[in-house]
Amino acid sequence: MGPTACGKSKLAMCLRKYLPIELISVDSALIYRGMDIGTDKPSFSDLSSHPHRLLNIKDPVEYYSASEFQNDVLKEINNIIQLGKIPCLVGGTMFYYHVLLYGLSVLPPSNIKTREFLLQKANDKYSLHEKLELIDPISASRIHKNDFQRLLRALEIFHLSGKNLTELKKYNNYQLPYTVFQFAIIPPNKEWLNNKIEFRVRKMFMLDFQQEVEFLFLRGDLHINLPSMRCIGYRQMWEYLEYKTSHKEMFNKIVFSTRKLAKRQLTWLKKWENLNKILYNSNTNILVEQVLDTLEKGCKKFL
């Protein structure tokens, strides 16, 4: 685990030289096909040598819920173990890790028709919040008025199940049946991370990120309210292509939103239990040694 731009993927791929691991992507943006540059997806060459499961599994027009991730990742973990190898999960979607470790209430899967119905009835995201306050005031108090995706999901759950999100969360007896070693790369300081993020965004534009989004924009079946197009970078570029913002403003918004994401990821990690923190080092071999040393000490406890 770790904040965006800290080198998680590079470390995971290097570990394959020393351990019989198979990689599983834990990233809510990398699941989409055709969204490579803006998500900083591993290169074709890297993926040829180091395949990642749960990557490129959805078209950008499709929805993908946390419950679907839970089902998919458990299947992949079981398959890897049956091969006699070790599952290694890598990515920055902290909520997905939380779902894997602690489970998710029994929630109905996403339904496109239901979502379209709710969107037709809603004037804007604020009216969605008002409706949620009526059926589930506890969830409404926890979900910000601007968090369109979570508001829509909470209302969808009620329409599909007849019970609100708060009620369904009470029934969760899930327990992950594996021993898990958890690692997180921690950046040396805020300034370093902010510089890395801005460098990554500039690199995106050098690699023709705009052209990538233009292709999606011209497909005709995508819109800005889809989860895929609300990913950082794609949402801001989409607004630019609709002439709603200038190029400079769009660039600055991407940098700001990415930094905000990294801050949220670090907030998750500060509260994370049983976490082995690894201070970033430009020498990946040093990071590898820290991981291997921690694993060796941890495994001795089970012998």
* pLDDT beyond 80 at 167: yes
Confidence band for 172, pLDDT divided at 50, 70 and 90: low
Rounded average pLDDT over 128-139:
91
Looking at per-residue pLDDT, the higher value among 35 and 119 belongs to 35
Q: What is the pLDDT of residues 49-87, one digit of tens each?
A: 999 999 999 999 999 988 899 999 999 999 999 999 999
pLDDT of residue 128: 86
**CA-wise closest residue to 140 among 129, 148, 149:** 129
Domains of the chain: 8-104+174-300 (3.40.50.300), 112-168 (1.10.20.140)
Q: How far apart are CA 211 and CA 205, in angstroms?
A: 9
Binding residues for ATP: 2-9
Q: What is the C-alpha R_g of the chain?
A: 20
Distances (CA, A) of 113 to 16, 64, 180: 43, 14, 38
**CA-wise closest residue to 72 among 39, 27, 122:** 27
pLDDT of residue 165: 86
Range of weakest confidence among 38-42, 162-166, 269-273: 162-166
CA-based angle 107:235:27, to the nearest 5?
50
pLDDT of residue 296: 94
* pLDDT beyond 70 at 276: yes
Sign of the Cα pseudo-torsion (128, 124, 255, 8, in order):
positive
Angle of the 247-270 helix axis to the 94-102 helix axis, nearest 10? 30
Confidence band for 124, pLDDT divided at 50, 70 and 90: low
Confidence band for 226, pLDDT divided at 50, 70 and 90: very high
Q: How far is CA 98 from the centre of its chain?
A: 11
* pLDDT beyond 80 at 136: yes
Rounded average pLDDT over 242-247:
97
* pLDDT beyond 60 at 125: no
Binding residues: 2-9
Q: What is the pLDDT of residues 86-110, one digit of tens each?
A: 999 999 999 999 999 988 767 787 8
Q: Is 106 helix (H, G, I), strand (E, B) or coil?
A: coil
Say if CB 68 and CB 31 are below 8 A apart.
Answer: no
Binding residues for substrate: 4-9
User: The tokens 């180091």 sit on which residue?
Assistant: 50
- Say whether pTM exceeds 0.85: no
